[in-house]
Chains A and B, each alone.
Chain A
Amino acid sequence: MSTEPPATLAAWLRTRSDEQLRALLVARPDVARPAPSDVVALASRLAVPVSVDRALDELDAATLQVLDVVLLAPTDGMAPDALVAALPEVPDDVLTGAVGTLTTRALLWGDDVLHAPDPVRRAVRHPAGLGRRALDLRVQLPADLPAALAELAPDERAVLERLAGDRPVGHLPDAPANGAATPARRLLQRGLLARIDALNVELPREIGVLLRGGSPYGPPRRRPEPAVVTRDPQVADRRAAGAALETVGRIGELLALLEEEPAGLLRSGGVGVRDQKRLAKALHVPEPEAAWLLELAFASGLLDVGGPHRDEWLPTRGYDVWREQDLADRWAVLAAGWLDGVRLPSLVGVRDLAGKAANALSPDLVRHTAPAIRRSALAVLAERPPGSGLAPEDLTALLRWRTPRRADRLAPVPDMLAEAARLGVLVSGVLSAAGRGLLAAGEDGAADGMRGLLPEPVDHVLAQPDLSLIAPGPLVAELADTLAVVADVESSGGATVFRVSESSVRRALDAGWSATDLHDFFAKASRTPVPQALDYLVDDVARQHGRLRVGAIESYVRSDDHGLLSQVLNDRRTAAAELRRLAPGVLVSGLGADEVLTVLREAGYAPAGENPGGAVLTRPPARPRAAGRRPGSESHPAPRALSADDLDATVREIRAGDAALAARRGEAVRQVPGVTTASTLELLSRAVREGVPVWLGYVDAQGSGSQRVVQPVSLAGGFLSGYDERRGENRTFAVHRITSIALVEPDAG
């Protein structure tokens, strides 16, 4: 190793150990794909502005402050000792950590002296909130700056003080009509401010530093130490379960409502305000709550656009599966749908610049960063032991410190936390066990965390003399379906209160129930004795219902075609059916419907069975369903993490390319790719013959170029096979893809 300190980023990178390179690739995975061919390629990848921004975005405020100090150093290169002097209030371990973070990411480089690469300088526009140097702003500062500042008018000084704060750039106010110069304009004339465009001015760095006095880099940006909220984990879990139960119940009710009467799809997408109002009213919730439920159902894949004209919001087929699942699984579907949803439900009702309020389910609510923000916010809480957490505002402050450059993305965080609390992922700042499960293991983890906390479904109700039926817990699906027909829901939650009324009994009778069925059903479903009033109600309504259709017959034959009926009646072959005419369109029989059907079919007719409700007895048509989509498929899949093998391979690749680059070699033969020149072939066959390693410039089938040093083995049929020592692989090279070639000369040293 040479003792000279490396002079460039690439040279410095070359001195890094494999371990350190690996760490760099882990920290900045975007430069690792496709694998850079050598250190120089790696260095140029690291200089790509997008990559630099991305790396800077992930730094916390303390690290950025250290970076600022290096960037503000008068000359390039700063010794770590100077850093300590510049930030006296920052503890050493924080400084060391920050320098480590920055060098690991190659945002600073150098071992004894820290250098900042130019792309980083460009990416940090206003380090420590200071403007550019006067020289760069092309401003001629007064020779005695402190004196010049001392004689400023107070209003002028105030302008400078303000610009010396967090943002050195300010908006130039319009000149007043009377022509008097504003303080800012006077400062411009004196050359204490620089104009950067028609509207904005910038404060030169020198003035900012001077005004800040003792601490030009601002106060130390320490990690906030928020008050920790603690909750008994069991209590928190019980409360989470309460929220979960509520949410699952509400979603079920919402979708049942939409099944009855779908909501219309607006031309601009989304659900209309009128539908939202209707649903809110039916669910007895405020409208924003209804919007949240709609969004949640959609995010979980339970609700989508469907219907014959694809203009209605309908429950999806997934809903049919969902409602059969047990409560914990149902909740997990919702929680996972929410976590990975790319929409921000909290934006419903927020007016845009044009003053138009966003509708629920409108496509305008999509924010692709949403899942990442949600996860990063919850991840902060997941780092804490169970039962401890943070208040929402503290959490936001901590996130802001962690990623100050992304602070503008944190606006939806409070709403997201509120949503998490509604779901039961979060309970007053503390993650529930189910919430932890959700973050760690997705849907299954969420369901496991919630299992055992939610009530088991019950299969009975309590009938009361005031004609209410109380289901003391979530109902098994079958009983819930039946009760939906014979009674109306009055109140829901942990239990459901149904009320049997005249109209609900009539509805049941219309649906084909008989009074006896109803009596039997109530007797069977109720754990308490059926009150007399309920029996009377059923009988009363049934009596009215029966008034119009009473008769002691077993079956009937009816048709709109009276002629056909006459024909049937007079047909000798149907005599066995014992038919008689009740009305012009109706024949009745004392025999069972099956017998009559058989007789008619044998006589060559084509009768169809009818149920007591009057519908043709065929398989009932399926309820309308939207096709649906898989939840979360809208979001971009996160890039696959680099595995240890990937890392090893990439580092090996870089090292190999680097070695190839560094290999001392003879005169290279260059060729136009695809055109194999005689000299190339000659050099290659010589290498094979003499067993001399060759240096190859090569473009692979994917079009990426690399340099390699290969020990050739054979040359045949347009392919060179050989052993690449550094990569440790045997492989074949197509001769026509070789761009240049040289013999490697044995190292003199």
Chain B
Amino acid sequence: MNDGPLIVQSDKTLLLEVDHPLARDCRSAIAPFAELERSPEHVHTYRVTPLALWNARAAGHDAEQVVDALVRYSRYPVPHALLVDVADTMDRFGRLTLAQNPVHGLVLTTTDRAVLEEVVRSKRVAPMLGARIDPDSVVVHPSERGRLKQALLKIGWPAEDLAGYVDGQAHPIELDQADWHLRDYQQEAVEGFWAGGSGVVVLPCGAGKTLVGAAAMAEAKATTLILVTNTVAGRQWKRELIARTSLTEEEIGEYSGERKEIRPVTIATYQVITTRRKGEYRHLDLFDAQDWGLIVYDEVHLLPAPIFRLTADLQSRRRLGLTATLVREDGREDDVFSLIGPKRYDAPWRDIEAQGYIAPAECIEVRVSLDDEERMTYAVAEPEERYRIAATAQSKLPVIRRVLERHPEEQKLVIGAYLDQLEELGTALDAPVIQGSTTNKERERLFQAFRVGEIKTLVVSKVANFSIDLPEAAVAVQVSGTFGSRQEEAQRLGRVLRPKADGRQAHFYTVVSRDTLDSEYAAHRQRFLAEQGYAYTIVDAADLAGPGEVNGPDWVDEPAD
């Protein structure tokens, strides 16, 4: 028996004991083919899925390496059946390849005739295929490249796409690294992406995904279409691109509800692309408006389903997906794989944090006891009203105030889901409120004021969840949220995880009403955060120490390093 750090489970999860001396080596050996699922304090859980194995194959790893890594680091004998299954699954990738044929155009070829026969007979796939050239290859309609890959993945024979990309219209883009430098992992991510052609780069919020995008553009040196979640995120991209690259304001266009500019680099929102009138997409021309050389998808895990369909037609363009997590709550990870591309780079949050690029965060759950009247209201409320009542309880207000008082010098965000609660908090805390109806201009103004420190506290609704950049928010207080969604949690955590100028610790508070649905949702949140490896502390509101007191915020703070 060997004393490895890894335990291989029957359900293809891998348990990695982090404190083991070999844990680091083992992690880098299994990372290519296993998705990190949970990373709590002692034992991390990875999962080996077919997609992960195919990702590994696409990245050039073979089954032997995978089996070897499992056997070498495993503490206990690895079930033979599991190894066989891994080898079989990996073997399925690459039996079919899509390639350009000088005579026939796009062609699907196989190294295994039986597979091609099976595929050709599949109801789902057959309509996308053209004439049979010889027993091993068949013509594919160029317009079906994306849908074919999607369909092949569904029937378990993922195709390797070697058909190449069009260069697009050249446009000079350089990184302007006068006063900053790409970090090592960002460089690795860009290299990984460029070598693979198309694919997804997984980096935590705050780890500088925008820069990875910019570096990829500098590599492509071609017209680029950037798809982002909303206008504010788009402006953020624009600002970064102007600051970090040779691009000027005139070269970057915004394609949103307000403006319809098409320039060599165009930033469009998901929303405007998916706008339909009379059942038709109105802005599809955008994709053909330029001979794009690169398409960047920001926040791939939020990519709406219609864009998948549109993306299927863009298979000859290079595509870069950026995201903090491959977990999609709609479970369409396989579409991301087949339409945008395999995972090209992945770095776990904790590692990047250890490198000092993300502020270490402390998660604190503050439990508030409701007063008798509130408890009564809660007890007799309709089930669908209960969460709102618990989450917006008046008793939270003094506690929120007290939490904010613990950090008088920090930039603070108060995040909530219910507008009247936010308004109330804004008034009580004397802080501006940003919500869906706040105009973009007003938002920009408030964010700017917050950024320079004129405003210390902002109250924001869930519009702030996505893609705004608040570099100096060191404290986030969550007062209500939508039902403990994991995605939301990752985003909110990202709000406070941006690097702090002086390496201070970030604080992520959640104010929870005790013994209500609110605390049940908090349990989901707690599990998610603990699985991500964050220290999670539960405190009673009454025990919440102020600054300078024992266990107060400055008491637990680690000295900056």
Contact = CB atoms under 8 A, between A and B. Distances in A.
A235 B78 CA distance: 11
A536 B538 contact: yes
Contacts of A239: 77-78, 80, 83
Given A240-B80, A453-B1, A533-B530, A494 B75 contact: yes
A284 B11 contact: yes
Given A497-B9, A536-B538, A245 B40 contact: no
A533 B42 contact: no
A528 B76 contact: no
Contact of B77 (A284, A453, A531): A453
Given A239-B80, A242-B76, A494-B76, A464 B42 contact: yes
A139 interface: no
A50 to B, nearest CB: 42
Contacts of A468: 38, 40, 43
A418 B530 CA distance: 42
Interface of A: 235, 238-246, 249-250, 284, 421-422, 424, 427-428, 452-455, 462, 464-468, 470, 472-473, 491-495, 497, 502, 528, 531-533, 536-537, 540, 544
Contact of A467 (B76, B515, B530, B535): B530
A245 B74 CA distance: 13
Given A464-B530, A470-B42, A242 B80 contact: yes
A413 to B, nearest CB: 19
10 contacts: A242-B78, A246-B82, A462-B43, A465-B40, A465-B530, A468-B43, A473-B7, A473-B76, A494-B7, A531-B530
B184 to A, nearest CB: 30
Interface string B1-43: 1000001111101010100000000000000000000101111
B81 A243 contact: yes
Contacts of B15: 470, 472, 495, 497
A540 B523 CA distance: 12
Interface of A is mostly: mixed
B538 A533 contact: yes
B11 A544 contact: no
A464 B77 contact: no
Contacts of A472: 7, 15, 17, 43, 75
B275 interface: no
A169 B455 CA distance: 99
B129 to A, nearest CB: 31
Interface string B517-538: 0010001001100110001111
Contacts of A544: 515
B1 A455 contact: yes
B40 A243 contact: no
Contacts of A246: 10, 79, 81-82
Contacts of A424: 80
A125 to B, nearest CB: 39
B54 to A, nearest CB: 21
Contacts of A540: 515, 519
B274 to A, nearest CB: 36
A528 B18 CA distance: 13
Contacts of A537: 523
A238 B79 CA distance: 9
A473 B1 CA distance: 12
Contacts of B1: 452-453, 455
A494 B8 contact: yes
A340 B319 CA distance: 59
Contacts of B535: 465
Given A422-B81, A493-B9, A544-B515, A465 B76 contact: no
A533 B536 contact: yes
A502 B524 CA distance: 12
Nearest to B538: A536
Contacts of A428: 80
Interface string B74-95: 1111111111000000000000
Given A424-B80, A455-B1, A465-B41, 7 more contacts: A245-B76, A249-B10, A467-B527, A468-B40, A468-B43, A493-B11, A532-B538
Contacts of B10: 246, 249-250, 284, 491-493
Contacts of B8: 493-494
B195 to A, nearest CB: 34
Contacts of A492: 9-11
Interface of B: 1, 7-11, 13, 15, 17, 38, 40-43, 45, 71, 74-83, 515, 519, 523, 526-527, 530-531, 535-538
A424 B98 CA distance: 40
B42 A528 contact: yes
B45 to A, nearest CB: 8
Contact of B40 (A427, A454, A464, A536): A464
B76 A533 contact: no
B79 A245 contact: yes
A240 B80 CA distance: 7
**What 7 pairs between A and B have smallest CB-CB spacing?**
A493-B9, A242-B77, A466-B530, A241-B77, A494-B76, A493-B10, A465-B530
A79 B242 CA distance: 102
B82 to A, nearest CB: 8
Nearest to A241: B77
A473 B3 CA distance: 12
A427 B80 contact: yes
Nearest to A428: B80
A56 to B, nearest CB: 39
A256 to B, nearest CB: 15
B9 A495 contact: yes
A454 B78 CA distance: 11
Question: By CB atoms of chain A within 10 A, which of B40, B42, B530, B538 has the most?
Answer: B42
Contacts of A491: 9-11, 13
Contacts of A238: 71, 77-78
Contacts of A531: 41, 530
Contact of B7 (A467, A495, A533): A495
A245 B82 CA distance: 12
Contacts of B42: 462, 464, 470, 528
B365 to A, nearest CB: 9
A502 B530 CA distance: 17
A446 to B, nearest CB: 16
Contacts of B527: 466-467
A242 B43 contact: no
B117 to A, nearest CB: 22
B493 to A, nearest CB: 15
Contact of A464 (B41, B75, B519, B523): B41
A421 B80 contact: yes
Question: By CB atoms of chain A within 10 A, which of B9, B76, B83, B527 has the most?
Answer: B76
Contact of A466 (B17, B38, B74): B38
A360 B90 CA distance: 32
A298 to B, nearest CB: 21
A743 to B, nearest CB: 76
Contacts of B17: 462, 472
Contacts of A466: 38, 40, 526-527, 530-531
A465 B536 contact: yes
Contacts of A473: 7, 75-76
A523 B537 CA distance: 18
A249 B38 CA distance: 24
Contacts of A422: 81
Nearest to A529: B41
A468 B39 CA distance: 11
A480 to B, nearest CB: 16
Contacts of A243: 77, 79-81
B455 to A, nearest CB: 34
A462 B45 CA distance: 13
A494 B2 CA distance: 13
Contacts of B80: 239-240, 242-243, 421, 424, 427-428
A325 B316 CA distance: 62
Nearest to B80: A239
A356 B10 CA distance: 32
Contacts of B38: 466, 468
